[in-house]
Amino acid sequence: MKRIFLILLSTVFAIAAITLVIIQISQMQESAKMSDNLFNISVNNSIDEVFTQLDQMKVEDYVSQKERYRVLQYQRIDNFNERMQDIIRNNSEIFYDEDRVQFGISTQDSAHRLPNAHLTDQEESIIAQYNTLLSARNRLMSNTNYSNEQYKNMVSNHSVDPTKLNFPLLDSLIREELIINGVDIEPTIGILETNKDTLYYCSNGSDSSKLRSTPYRYTFHANGIVANENLFLVLSFPSSPIILTSDANKYTVLSIFMIVLISALFVFSIRTIWTQRKLDEMKTDFISNMTHEIKTPIATIGLACEMLQDNSVNSDNETRSNFINIINDENRRMRVLIETILQSSKMANKNFSLTLREIDLNQEVMSALQSFQLMIRNKNGILETDLQPITSVLFADQLHISNMIHNLVDNAIKYSPDEPHIKVSTCQQGEWAILKVADNGIGISKENQKHIFEKFYRVHTGDLHDVKGFGIGLSYVSQVVALHKGRINVESEIGRGSTFIVQLPLA
């Protein structure tokens, strides 16, 4: 898959994902706005219904229990007055005849028959009935501390003292209506007089400050008459109205989750495709490099064999010996190449195991370096060693340790200039055997240092095209070190060479 196509695909998906997110956010905002409007309508409908129920009640039904008794007493007094007035109106020829009946200062006083007046027994009974009602009314007034003005305010004008309201009844009505209208959030309810900043009732004392600033404020108008324009029924809700649309919230959360999941899967797919593409490129480079690596020694061996078949060459022992040495070197080179590939392939198997035995690291280093003496000499280079004694026992796989050393030295020579200076050193640090391979080569950038131990990865050498290899040597070295439970690091600067440091645990 081409790089430009992957970039285009990623761009299109990113635009689509961003568009979906914008649409989802817009829908969430619209849903929240709609939810808020529905919530407000439900609350308003609930309060309207509460006031409708209050309108259908008598004053004594929505005041407190103590105040209800006073109101009933007032109503009985009012009833006595009305009956007395009815008697006077229905018998005006008696009560308004100043020669027959006498009152006190007003008609609310007792009525007395004048001494010389002539009244029938029925008329005497009517006057007695009036006085009986008056006496009963006066006794009731004395027991209730009756105030006509107070009574008028409460009963006639429906002006109820806020402190005398039946708050439990009011609270119950509001909560019931809210549930009926689909509002299942527990509110805080209060009665507030704004001009005095007085909160007469609060169902939850801790939320009193919220009640003073809540937008849910309704003029208290019992029986349809505004008794006090500064008296309000107020409600406060603990959470956002949007929770009413729980189903919508579930779908919103699910949509966001699916967008995130699809985005994650897309990113994972693109990374997998990108990694596969890079892996394919590295494999292609590996096959190409391996082909060239094998073709060169085969061609050299073929040419040397042709020369050995020449009679003139066979007669010259020195020349013949040189061609045989060339064949041996190229054969060794192919053998190491094939062995590295085979061993790296074996290590990929989960059942692979090492053959551990006691080895001498310094001896393995000297054995491996012998095969590089001629190569270093031909390049006018220097192969320096600093092998310090390692007193503790090192248990390791001899074959893989030898191949590891060979790969590190071969890699150092490859990436060094025409006259390489290679230094191989060993030492013991506590419970670790340390192997260092340093060169004066082209160095490795910080970015490449992150990938040099990956299979098939090759460091870009800029204008240097004559470096042979197929990107498997350092990966194999890393595998060997890991299987021995060791550690490998690299220290390098561009243009100043590299140092590979291997740490192997000692017994």
* φ, ψ of residue 190 in degrees (nearest 5): -150, 165
Q: Which of 158-162, 311-315, 461-465 has the highest mean pLDDT?
A: 311-315
Amino acid 2: pLDDT: 66
The lowest-confidence range among 117-131, 239-253, 414-428 is: 239-253
**CA–CA distance, 388 with 373 (Å, rounded to integer):** 21
Amino acid 71: pLDDT: 67
> Tokens 């007469």 — which residue?
200
Amino acid 498: pLDDT: 92
Reply yes or no on whether the pLDDT at 243 is more than 60: no
Task: Answer for the pair 471, 456: CB distance below 8 angstroms, yes or no.
Answer: yes
The lowest-confidence range among 134-143, 305-314, 350-359, 386-395 is: 305-314
Reply yes or no on whether the pLDDT at 501 is more than 90: yes
Mean model confidence pLDDT for the chain: 79
All residues at 6 or more sequence positions from 218 whose CB lies less than 8 Å from its CB, including other chains: 47, 51, 232, 233, 234
Sheet-wide strand order for 198-202: 198-202, 188-193, 231-236, 216-219
DSSP state of 165: B
> Tokens 């699809």 — which residue?
262
DSSP state of 164: G
Q: Which long-range contacts (CB under 8 A, 24 or more apart) does 43-47 make?
A: 43/178, 43/181, 43/183, 43/216, 43/235, 45/177, 45/181, 46/174, 46/177, 46/178, 46/180, 46/181, 46/183, 47/174, 47/177, 47/218, 47/233, 47/235
Reply yes or no on whether the pLDDT at 46 is more than 80: yes
Amino acid 425: pLDDT: 94
Reply yes or no on whether the pLDDT at 59 is more than 80: no
Task: Answer for the pair 77, 144: CB distance below 8 angstroms, yes or no.
Answer: yes
Query: What mean pLDDT is predicted for residues 303-327?
Result: 76
**CA–CA distance, 340 with 448 (Å, rounded to integer):** 22
Taking the whole predicted model, whether its pTM rises above 0.75 is answered as no
Reply yes or no on whether the pLDDT at 200 is more than 80: yes
Query: What mean pLDDT is predicted for residues 52-78?
Result: 68
Query: What mean pLDDT is predicted for residues 216-233?
Result: 72
The lowest-confidence range among 50-54, 115-119, 150-154, 491-495 is: 150-154
Beta-carbon count within 10 A of 6 CB: 14
Between 419 and 72, whose confidence is greater? 419
Amino acid 487: pLDDT: 94
Query: What mean pLDDT is predicted for residues 377-401?
Result: 89
Reply yes or no on whether the pLDDT at 158 is more than 50: no
* φ, ψ of residue 22 in degrees (nearest 5): -65, -45
- Residues 252-297: tens digit of each pLDDT: 677 777 778 887 887 888 788 777 777 777 677 667 767 766 777 7
Amino acid 427: pLDDT: 94
Residue 437, beta-bridge partner list: 424, 500
Q: Give the residue among 151, 234, 152 at the shortest CA–CA distance from 193.
A: 234
**CA–CA distance, 66 with 164 (Å, rounded to integer):** 8
Q: Dump the DSSP string for 53-86.
A: HHHTS-GGGSB-HHHHHHHHHHHHHHHHHHHHHH
Amino acid 360: pLDDT: 92
Q: Give the 3-state secondary structure of residue 7.
A: helix
Q: Which of 4-8, 28-32, 260-264, 329-333 has the highest mean pLDDT?
A: 260-264
Would you place residue 224 in the very low, low, confident or very high pLDDT band (cuts 50, 70, 90)? very low
Reply yes or no on whether the pLDDT at 181 is more than 90: no
Query: What mean pLDDT is predicted for residues 3-7?
Result: 74
User: Helices 246-309 and 3-55: crossing angle, nearest 10°?
Assistant: 170
Q: Which CATH architecture has domain 353-505?
A: 2-Layer Sandwich (3.30)
* φ, ψ of residue 377 in degrees (nearest 5): -65, -40
Amino acid 271: pLDDT: 80
Query: What mean pLDDT is predicted for residues 238-264?
Result: 67
Amino acid 465: pLDDT: 41
Query: What mean pLDDT is predicted for residues 229-247?
Result: 69
Task: Answer for the pair 467, 460: CB distance below 8 angstroms, yes or no.
Answer: no
Amino acid 318: pLDDT: 77
Instruction: For the chain, give the percent of residues with pLDDT over 70.
Output: 79
- Residues 72-116: tens digit of each pLDDT: 777 788 888 888 888 888 888 888 888 888 887 777 788 888 888
Structure token digits, residue 246:
């729980």
Reply yes or no on whether the pLDDT at 160 is more than 80: no
E strand or H helix at 312, and its extent? helix 311-314
Residue 503, beta-bridge partner list: 434, 487
